[in-house]
Structure 1
């Protein structure tokens, strides 16, 4: 029992999960800020439509950032909070100022591709660890984001 954390999971497996969740937290944080930038700076004929969609997306990312940080805490570890660390750990890189809606949508699709891949890795790790909480979270995120990929791809005619 000494190798179990407070929720009954193996500490070593929980550490691996926490580390991957830390990368996810960093990636979500950079994606969130990129999306805020798209929302603020978008111009052109699709401004009204994309401005609203980008706001919906960054509001959802804001919730996920908190959920992932709290999951790291639940596993018994401390989530990173420094943006400098997020920038270096994130799979998603900071975007430049994007005013073109098509470019913003392409960057969003690239970000979702990276997130979904990472979340599948976390899903596998959480399954091996018997961590139903993280498993359910990742499964829900993947399902939701796969639909968003389809929708943004349809908008961009990348289907």
Structure 2
């Protein structure tokens, strides 16, 4: 089995790069959805949600950079065009959403997909002892599970 300079199997590392690029694409769509929600939210909860959406998109921007850098660290090339993002994303694009509950539902749907993708990457990274990717996914998952809980509480829904 051939190893890269990180001591990881080359073929499995390339597979992780593909999965990470998929996650990157989904995060880019998530980020853009959050920007749209931030700009277009209306109603009595405007001030609270406007700030919350900004917090979430700023966090997403950091995660996008971390994912792209991990792709590079593993020897890959991060996807970087909108056409690649759309082609590789599983997220629904939220267009012209101004209603508070509809906005939160879109975020919850998106987080659910992101968590599924991150857990798949976590499993594959663990199989080859890729602790760098594993650690990053674990951090993402913990943060998004908390966000999921908080948004569900806001909607007064059970987890």
TM range (shorter): over 0.9
In the alignment, the residues of structure 2 paired with residue 19 and residue 79 of structure 1 have an alpha-carbon distance, to the nearest angstrom, of 9
- For the 8 Å contact 1:73–1:79, the answer to whether it is kept is yes
In the alignment, the residues of structure 2 paired with residue 6 and residue 73 of structure 1 have an alpha-carbon distance, to the nearest angstrom, of 13
- 1:69: Cα distance to partner? 0.3
What secondary structure, in the 3-state scheme, does the structure 1 residue paired with 2:6 have?
A: coil
- For the 8 Å contact 1:27–1:91, the answer to whether it is kept is yes
How many residue pairs match? The answer is 158
- 1:36 paired residue number: 35
> Residue deviations 1:63-104, cap 9 Å, x none?
000000000000001011011110110121321110001100
- 1:85 paired residue number: 84
- 2:152 paired residue number: 153
In the alignment, the residues of structure 2 paired with residue 30 and residue 93 of structure 1 have an alpha-carbon distance, to the nearest angstrom, of 8
Q: How high is the TM-score relative to the length of structure 1?
A: 0.97
Instruction: In structure 2, list runs of 5 or more residues that go unmatched.
Output: none
In the alignment, the residues of structure 2 paired with residue 121 and residue 28 of structure 1 have an alpha-carbon distance, to the nearest angstrom, of 15
1:105 aligns with 2:104: yes
Instruction: In structure 1, list runs of 5 or more residues that go unmatched.
Output: none
What secondary structure, in the 3-state scheme, does the structure 2 residue paired with 1:4 have?
A: coil
1:68 aligns with 2:60: no
In the alignment, the residues of structure 2 paired with residue 80 and residue 93 of structure 1 have an alpha-carbon distance, to the nearest angstrom, of 19
In the alignment, the residues of structure 1 paired with residue 103 and residue 4 of structure 2 have an alpha-carbon distance, to the nearest angstrom, of 42
Q: How high is the TM-score relative to the length of structure 2?
A: 0.97
- 1:158: Cα distance to partner? 1.6
Runs of 4+ in 1 over 3 A off after TM superposition: none
1:138 aligns with 2:143: no
Question: What is the aligned-residue RMSD (CA, Å)?
Answer: 0.8
- 2:95 paired residue number: 96
